[in-house]
Amino acid sequence: MIHVPEELAASQAKYNGEAGRAFIAALPERAEEFLDWWGLRVTGPSMYGVASLVLPVERVADGTRAALKMQIVDDETEGEPVGLRTWGGDGVVRLLDHDAGTGTMLLERLDEARPLTSHADTREALGVVAGLLGRLTAVPAPEGLRRLGDIAAGMLADVPDAVARVGADDAAVLRDCAAAVREVAGEPGDRLLHWDLHLGNVLAAGREPWLAIDPKPLAGDPGFDLLPALMDRFDPDDFLWRFDLLAEVVGDRGRAVAWTLGRVLQNGLWDVEDGEPGLDAEQVEVARILRAARG
């Protein structure tokens, strides 16, 4: 019997309700089905994140090491196999097989015991992320993915209601971030974005020193991909150095500022939707620093 961690069950119930509970209930049978279908055996304990269960496996026929990933198919996850196929392993984990009906994926096995978070030197670690960011966002997005233009339009439409539900200071942050997004929303970009590229989503590998995992692909401006890595080990005094490192990779610093404020807006709108008492303090500080940098 496959072990389903209680933490994964709790997160699925919290974020996906009845659909999440049904997903958890079906996981043991689903895992057994794909172990048999793809000729795999489990080689270690279950691994998990907020949304997925990952089993370390190997192919019975030849001993190839791999990872069996199971997750709910939704707006964020449905593009993962599309993005992985498009990147073809260049800077990112390779997709070995995929079942479109369930979203189950067989992935190249990386070293899950050595995420980039284990690298003590933050500047060196951010340099690794910058290198991967440049490679991943250099690729044109294929058809069929979520598009940043649609996401931006949806965020801007939600701002008036959100502003009415928060205090004056938080409302000012939301308005300023929305104003920055309006300036660039007419050219939302067409690059293939990872959307969640941070130290925890980069693992040590064999064929390259480090590879990205767990993308939530969309088509858009590379500037929208900076914030997750900027929030790792957040330090206001070091923030602009980090931002400039990543912004240089994506090319246009002004647009990178605007789209990073767009990510702050996205997170702030989620905070309001979730009924949080206020916007996240670190995100507010990011907005303050970037608004000052814009002049």
Please give the positions annotated as active site: 196
CB contact at 8 A, 203 and 110: yes
Q: What is the 3-state secondary structure (H, E, C) of 74-140?
A: CCCCCCHHHHHHHHCCCCECCEEEEECCCCEEEEECCEEEEEHHHCCCHHHHHHHHHHHHHHHHCCE
CA-to-CA distance for 50 and 267, rounded, in angstroms?
A: 17
CA-to-CA distance for 177 and 262, rounded, in angstroms?
A: 6
CB contact at 8 A, 272 and 246: no
> CA nearest 247: which of 239, 116, 216?
239
CA-to-CA distance for 45 and 54, rounded, in angstroms?
A: 9
CA-to-CA distance for 210 and 114, rounded, in angstroms?
A: 9
Contacts of 244 (CB under 8 A, 6+ apart): 253
Main-chain dihedrals φ then ψ at residue 212, nearest 5 degrees: -80, 150
Strand partners, 71: 52
CB contact at 8 A, 215 and 83: yes
CA-to-CA distance for 168 and 237, rounded, in angstroms?
A: 26
Main-chain dihedrals φ then ψ at residue 276, nearest 5 degrees: -65, 150
